Amino acid sequence: SPSDVFAAVDLGASSGRVVVGRIGPDELALTEVHRFPNRPLRLPSGLHWDIGGLYHGMLDGLRAAAPHAPRSVGIDSWAVDYGLLDDGGALLGLPHHYRDSRTDSVAPAMVERLGAAQLYARNGLQFLPFNTIFQLAAAQGASQLRCAASLLLVPDLLAYWLTGERGAEVTNASTTGLLDVATRRWSPELAEAAGIDASLLGVLRSPGERIGTLLPGPAEHTGLDAGTAVAAVASHDTASAVAAVPARTERFGYVSCGTWSLAGLELDAPVTTEEARGANFTNELGVDGTTRFLRNIMGLWLVQECLREWGLDDSALPGLLQEAAAAPAFAGLIDAGDPRYLPPGNMPARIAAHLRETGQAEPADRGALLRCVLESLALAHRDTLRRACALSGRDIEVVHLVGGGARNELLCQWTADALGLPVESGPVEATAIGNLAVQARAAVPGASQSDLRHLIHATQRPRRYEPAPDTAAWDAAAARLGLE
């Protein structure tokens, strides 16, 4: 058949899904066969991922995918977090959640010790307190780390449970802080700095490589053919999302907008200048050896945590967004890149406190609070993309906003207005599509990334938001926050 079927397991911080894709030269048809919530566990040992629940969600999804007879399965998830295995392959405790507070003081102390410039020259990463290198430093002395024989990032851990094969997919490895930005190999010096034996780190594999086939247990549980391949994809969700940006020009910026907003550019090579470090830009690896030059913005996490505090879920969003649209413009603004928003809890109160501290009025109601968050996110998108262009010497003519945030019309329009550039929104499921696309390219040699982007554009038409005629109001708002 000219079309092939693949399955994507895509684990986001807020939910997991399994998507089946039928892909051919002119076809990209998606079926979401399973979706499940991703609920972290707060335990005496800290904030953890419910890795068993996620494994179950994946298997249930693969069972729903089995009747479609996928040729291969690919797994992606959020970055940086890992499980440790002992020498027999047993998991040593629940993986920590990147929002756990145990790195709070360890991370800055480690940067101080190693030197921020030296660290950036070596790994090219923005400072985020949860980078794996800092998590490992925080775990020094823990019995689990002492007993560990290997460290597997979350998608690699799940792939290990499916296939029995261990390894480290390179796009996700590039988020750990342990990969050398120049050689794209594990850095023995950085492993030593993190206090681990470099032998813990798995053999690197690239998107498109075959990991293995299903073990009898998962094959039986899911009903998938035992010969079904598990393929390495761009297992960092953001790398998959960027791979699926339906760009038709090279002059594009992107915002991968879900729990986080990851805003930046796709480059041929890293930018590790002192200016890029000062602006806290990261150089993560994309497919085909590209660099994702971007910065993390708190994203829709701010909204998710307000909803949670109010006892609501996403189904309340359409109504609340109408209230936000009716609330006064630019009444209160926050820095949506501020690390104070990293931990969970009390989000509306924390935002109100931030507004008070900066001499601004507290929001009158939920609509006003939501407006503050969305305008602030649009300003952060603008600041980040403008700086990315300045730092890399590149120019853009369009911004692609993909992920769940593409459903938020206010955020898309305001991002366009703030930047004075058109925003093309969607696909909402860019990450799953990027996961599937890498599998399809591996199965059908010769297909290029740009062919795939055109196919995605043709089959998942983005919605276009034209910017307002001038940016004066947004310029003034940006100036209030000291942003570009």
**Footprint of ligand LRH (CB under 6 A):** 13, 78-80, 98, 236-238, 259-260, 262, 296
C-beta closer to ligand ADP: residue 172 or 392: 172
Quick one: which segment of 84-92, 117-125, 273-281, 300-308 binds ligand ADP (CB under 6 A)?
300-308
Contact partner at residue 98 from ligand ADP, ligand LRH, none, CB < 5 to 8 Å by partner kind: ligand LRH
Between residue 405 and residue 444, which ones bind ligand ADP under the rule CB under 6 A?
Answer: 405, 407-408
Report the C-alpha gap between 49 and 27 in whole angstroms. 36
Is residue 314 close enough to count as binding ligand ADP by CB under 6 A? Answer: yes
Is residue 309 close enough to count as binding ligand ADP by CB under 6 A? Answer: no
Q: Are strands 204-205 and 252-257 parallel, antiparallel or unpaired?
A: unpaired
Residue in 10, 81, 237, 335 annotated catalytic: 237
Is residue 135 close enough to count as binding ligand ADP by CB under 6 A? Answer: no
Report the C-alpha gap between 174 and 193 in whole angstroms. 16
Contacts 24+ apart (CB under 8 A), 212-221: 212/159, 212/162, 212/163, 212/164, 212/165, 213/163, 214/162, 214/163, 215/162, 215/163, 215/164, 218/59, 218/62, 218/161, 218/162, 221/59, 221/63
Contact partner at residue 163 from ligand ADP, ligand LRH, none, CB < 5 to 8 Å by partner kind: none
List the one residue from 74, 83, 403, 434 that touches ligand ADP (CB under 6 A): 403
List the one residue from 179, 303, 389, 477 that touches ligand ADP (CB under 6 A): 303
**10 Å Cβ neighbour count for 394?**
17
Is residue 317 close enough to count as binding ligand ADP by CB under 6 A? Answer: yes
Report the C-alpha gap between 117 and 271 in whole angstroms. 13
Residues binding ligand ADP: what is the number (CB under 6 A)?
17
Residue, CB closest to ligand ADP: 404
Q: How far is the CB of 250 from ligand ADP (least distance, A)?
A: 25
C-beta closer to ligand LRH: residue 236 or 366: 236
237 is catalytic: yes
Quick one: which segment of 59-67, 267-275, 403-411, 456-464 binds ligand ADP (CB under 6 A)?
403-411
Q: How far is the CB of 269 from ligand ADP (least distance, A)?
A: 28
Q: How far is the CB of 189 from ligand LRH (least distance, A)?
A: 23
Q: How far is the CB of 321 from ligand ADP (least distance, A)?
A: 6
Is residue 167 close enough to count as binding ligand ADP by CB under 6 A? Answer: no
Contact partner at residue 296 from ligand ADP, ligand LRH, none, CB < 5 to 8 Å by partner kind: ligand LRH
Contact partner at residue 208 from ligand LRH, ligand ADP, none, CB < 5 to 8 Å by partner kind: none
Report yes or no: 2 and 24 within 8 Å, Cβ to Cβ: yes
List the one residue from 12, 124, 246, 363 that touches ligand ADP (CB under 6 A): 12
Report the C-alpha gap between 95 and 92 in whole angstroms. 9
Binding mask 23-62 for ligand ADP (x = CB under 6 A): ----------------------------------------
Q: Tell me which residue of 333, 334, 341 sits closest to 296, measured CA to CA.
A: 341
Name, in order, each residue with C-beta under 8 angstroms of 429's C-beta and a sequence gap of 6 or more.
Answer: 10, 17, 19, 30, 32
Quick one: which segment of 161-169, 296-304, 359-367, 434-442 binds ligand ADP (CB under 6 A)?
296-304
Residues marked as catalytic: 237
Binding residues vs ligand ADP (CB under 6 A): 12-15, 258-259, 300, 303-304, 314, 317-318, 403-405, 407-408
